[in-house]
Structure 1
Amino acid sequence: MALATRSRLSTLSRAFFFLLAAALPAASLESTTSDARAADEAHLSQRELLGKRIFEDKNLSEPAGLSCASCHDPAKAFQGNNGSPIAALARGSRPDALGTRKTPSLAYVSFSPRFHFMKKKDEETGETELVPVGGQFWDGRADDLAAQVEGPLLNPREMNNPSKAAVVEKIKSGAYADLARRVYGEKLFENDAAFDKLARAVAAFESSERFHPFSSKFDDFLRGREKLTAEEAKGFALFKDKKKGNCIACHVGEEKSRHPQDWLFTDFSYDALGAPRNAAIPDNKDRAHIDLGLCKREGLAKVAPKGYAIDSLCGQFKAPTLRNIAVTGPYLHNGAFASLRDVVAFYATRDTDPARWYPKKEGATAKYDDLPAAYHDNVNVKEVPYDRKPGETPRLDESEIDAIAAFLRTLTDRPTPATKAER
């Protein structure tokens, strides 16, 4: 009897330790994952952490399955297309839904001022004009980051929620509702301002350092820790040269500064570049469908100076930062270009060799084919390198285009200790 009992105990003990051993790797993995997440979030404030939870929550779409991070992928400089069959457009929460424009990167967007009109002096004529600056999205229709949050959440082509109240209710019944109450108070969900407060939490997260780490090769070059190659240095010189690339006219930086924060590579202004029409965009199968950009910004008439010629803004889109540009393709508001080099070449040869970029129509090149003829005069043809005519020598030759593209690749942020866990 005693022997049988010991045998049964021995068998049970072996089974127990076998099960325990089998469970250890899973427990260890769970612990490691938890530790990595904790380390990744340790530096965030409570409000930023709440913003991160909202940003990554796939329950905040209708149907569930799409989060902000789905289209603003941290591994791709906070942009992407959520596995869309159309590279230029993000896939929404509904299987048949696609966005209307290329998803903008959220990296460094917290530096953008609120949408407004500012005085700008023409360097050639000395005259001053009022120009639009700032805001969020390609057309600046959201004044700031908090206002930007509403757009994707309620857009039928994106997260497809029926109302702000529906979003708030999902968060109220979700896993981090207590965190939201700790940040904004126990009565948060009883307040009509709940959505706006939650949106500000997302804006706080998008303003945190992980969205602007200043960790590229170029940043280390500015800090004196790294050197540019000969081709990269040549590209940087051409980038700044006002008679060659003149990229710095819109993608600005303080030339005398060695501080990365002084090199945002955008002045947050708007410009009409005459981008080629992207035939891959389903909406463009209808020839009457034209994306006019800034001039159709919601509420523009209310914020524009009295008597401002709003039609002069048709075809204009916001100049994005060039930081991380090598990993945020396709390019321009409509994703017309898959290659970074092609974008640089387009800027240099758009007007000297238009047949390279635009289709033929009735035996002639259909220049600016994604903009009605009535607005062709809005296209920038004054600034270098656009100030050329067909047959003239471009401001940049092919080797110089290569050099600028090489320089632009130095602007890609590299993982920092705060972001390695999520990449």
Structure 2
Amino acid sequence: MNQASDAALPPTLPAGGEPGPVLTRRSALRLLARSAACIVIAAVALGAYALVYPGRMPAAVGAIVEHITGANPRPVRLLRPARAPLSAVALLGKEIFFDQSLSASGTQSCASCHSPKNSYAPDNAFPVQFGGAHMSEAGYRPPPSLTYLYRQAPFSIGPDQGDTDVPVDLTQLASQAAGVERAQKTALATPAAPAMVPQGGLFWDGRADTLQDQAIGPLTNPVEMANKTPEDVAHKLLQTKYIDQFKQMFGPAIAGNPSLLISEAMFAVGRYQLEDPSFHAFTSKYDYWLEGKARLTHAELHGLQLFNDKDKANCAGCHLSQPSKDGLPPVFTDTQYEALGVPRNPAIPANKIPKFFDMGVCGPFRDDLAKQTQYCGMFLTPTLRNVANRKVFFHNGVYHDLKQVMDFYNLRNTSPEKIYPRDASGKVQKYNDLPPQFHANVDASDAPFDRKPGDRPAMTDQDIQDIIAFMKTLSDGFDAGGS
């Protein structure tokens, strides 16, 4: 070979001014050969695809571009909520949200359990939070995040009721749905009409329909802010530094009307959550990838593929991942309810009572559907946005990281002995956080739960790591300029 082929090419000077690594002509030729080989392989692949699937070349090109570059070959325009300065009512709501004086202890506010530093969820890893007059009372469930609730519909059962002034009888609807076969949850398919499964609402059991209704709950809950009556809340509001703002906005007579004062205060808290962009920022890496402004790594792309694979993880069966037809960004929940059969969490003080069971929609914290036992064990599907920031998972906080969560989905049916404890006789106590008579409510038909003991799990360990890598792209605050 010509000796000149090994001669060093002139060194390059990066932005810092220091010489870069020396590139020989031989290594340069090798790089060119590898690039040419990649082009040839891609061309052959495209040619073969064209022969087998004529007329589908654009999709094939897009798939190859996505695989090689990590870019979204079909970017979309996302319709985010409009940004504007907060209204006077929303600013008042912000004051209330952070006001510790409204609690019986004088040390707890809405932000204590819904920290803006942690996507409006708790900033600690306790399975439940402590409250009460002396901050010594344990809660029953981990507070969910308050983010991405701006499109949450009121609680309902069955098809959308639409705009109607006729009060909905949930018990009647539930009775009509009894015995109807459960809708199949399949990733990327059109969401099935929830003939049996409830939808919408706030809290883990959907017992509040609006942000305003949700806000008053913790103020009078004995294990949270612990005011004994709504009148106690009104009295505390009259002592605040912002009471004059109430009088200016709603008239001076509001000071003498406790129920109206509380109603307007909770309305203000709701307006704060609706207007402040931090509650629905849509600034994740995935959002920017959808818009063509960021690139996903190979692991993240593979994780997205598995997330949307109806036969593998099937996460998108409940955590919808596609923008709507009119460009609304996905909020990664179908807002429906599922009974997953997560194991009992012995760290929750209430669970030390053997006969105590938290059964979600049918009780104990809502009682209007207590007799509709087909819903026992069902809890609201939460958004997966900012899921990588969470410290505890599921309605009972039994898991503390995403690997544990994914192992539960992967092994619950194939290796239940790895998920649930054994009783004194050595028998695996499957679905041990739900009374046996309601075990039939647990989802055992949707992937990855459509497997039996001894079957190969739906996902490998590497699959799980890649899905977790993708879920980390759902965290807000991504710098699109640095992608």
Q: 2:305 aligns with which of 213, 227, 237?
A: 237
Question: Could you tell me which residue of structure 1 aligns to residue 146 of structure 2?
Answer: 106
Matched residue, 1:319: 381
TM-superposed deviation, 1:353: 0.7
* CA distance in structure 1 between the aligned counterparts of 2:391 and 2:471, rounded to whole angstroms: 13
Aligned positions of 1:327-366 closer than 5 A: 327-361=389-423, 362-366=425-429
SS in 2 for 1:122: coil
Q: Map 1:372-383; keep pairs closer than 5 Å.
A: 372-383=435-446
Deviations 1:379-402 (A, max 9, x none): 000111111100001111111111
TM-score by length of 2: 0.72
> Which residue is equivalent to 2:17?
none
Structure 1 equivalent of residue 104 of structure 2: 62
> Could you tell me how far apart the structure 2 residues matched to 1:231 and 1:213 are?
25
Partners of 2:210 and 2:324 lie apart in 1 by 29
Letter in 1 for 2:213: A
Change (3 A) 1:288 1:338: same
Q: Does 1:369 align with 2:432?
A: yes
For residue 240 of structure 2, the aligned residue among 157, 168, 174 is 174
TM superposition shift of 1:127: 9.1
Alignment partners' CA distance in 2, 1:116 and 1:284: 29
| Counterpart contact for 2:93–2:271, Cα < 8 Å | yes
Structure 1 unmatched ranges of 5 or more:
1-40, 417-423
Aligned residue for 2:413, secondary structure, equals coil
Note the C-alpha offset of 1:162.
1.3
- Preserved CA contact (<8 Å) 1:326 1:409: yes
- Cα distance in 1, alignment partners of residues 194 and 215 from structure 2: 34
Q: 1:282 aligns with which of 334, 341, 349?
A: 349
Encode CA deviations 1:90-131: one digit per residue, 9 max, x unaligned. Answer: 121423211110111001122211111123983599997242
Q: Shift of the alpha carbon at 1:415?
A: 7.6
Q: Is the 8 A contact 1:149 1:199 kept in 2?
A: yes
1:133/1:292 CA distance change after superposition, 3 Å: same
Instruction: Indicate which of 248, 251, 254 corresponds to 2:322.
Output: 254
After superposition, give the CA deviation of every residue in 1:318-362 in whole Å (9 maximum; x if it has no partner): 000000101122100000001111101211111001111100112
Equivalent residue number for residue 25 of structure 1: none
Distance 1:106 1:185 in 2: 30
Structure 2 counterparts to residues 139-218 of structure 1, below 5 A: 139-191=205-257, 192-208=259-275, 209-218=277-286
Secondary structure at the aligned position of 1:129 is classed as coil
1 CA distance for matches of 2:326 and 2:465?
25
Give 3-state SS (helix, strand or coil) of 1:119's partner.
coil
| Aligned residue in 2 for 1:419 | none
| SS, match of residue 343 in structure 2 | coil
SS, match of residue 295 in structure 1 = coil
State the Cα distance separating 1:257 from its structure 2 match: 6.0
SS in 1 for 2:449: coil
Q: Does 1:228 align with 2:228?
A: no
SS in 2 for 1:165: helix
Once the two structures are TM-superposed, the CA of residue 256 in structure 1 deviates from its matched residue by 7.4
Tell me which amino acid in the other structure corresponds to 1:101: R
| Runs of 4+ with >6 A deviation | 124-128
Q: How many residues align?
A: 366
Does residue 326 of structure 2 align to residue 265 of structure 1?
no
Cα deviation digits, residues 182-205 of structure 1 (max 9, x gap): 332222222332211111110111
The SS at the match of 2:198 is: strand
Q: Aligned partners of 2:215, 2:121: CA distance in 1, in Å?
A: 15
Q: CA deviation at 1:299?
A: 4.8
Q: Distance in 1 between matches of 2:313 and 2:341?
A: 18
- Measure, in 2, the Cα distance between the counterparts of 1:342 and 1:63: 35
Distance 1:128 1:248, change over 3 A: closer
Residue deviations 1:283-329 (CA, integer Å, cap 9, x gap): 1112111111111252534xx9xxxx710110111000000101122
Distance 2:295 2:110 in 1: 36
Alignment CA distance shift 1:321-1:222 (3 Å):
same
Match of 1:291 in 2: 358
Residue type of the alignment partner of 2:475: T
Where structure 2 has 5 or more consecutive residues not aligned to the other structure, the ranges are 1-82, 161-181, 187-191
Distance, in Å, in 2 between the alignment partners of 1:75 and 1:148 is 21
Aligned residue identity for 2:151: F
Indicate the residue corresponding to 1:397 in structure 2: 460
Task: Tell me if structure 2 keeps the 8 A contact 1:119–1:131.
Answer: no
Matched AA of 1:329:
K
Q: How does 1:78-117 map to 2 (within 5 A)?
A: 78-80=120-122, 87-93=126-132, 94-117=134-157
Supply the distance in 2 between the matched residues of 1:54 and 1:155 (Cα, whole angstroms). 17
Distance 1:219-1:142 versus aligned 2 partners, 3 A rule: same
Q: Is the 8 A contact 2:185 2:318 kept in 1?
A: no
1:87 Cα deviation from its structure 2 partner: 1.1
User: For residue 79 of structure 1, what is the amino acid of its counterpart?
Assistant: A
TM-aligned CA deviation for residue 42 of structure 1 = 8.6
SS of the equivalent of 2:438 reads helix
- Aligned equivalents of 2:194 and 2:117: distance in 1? 42
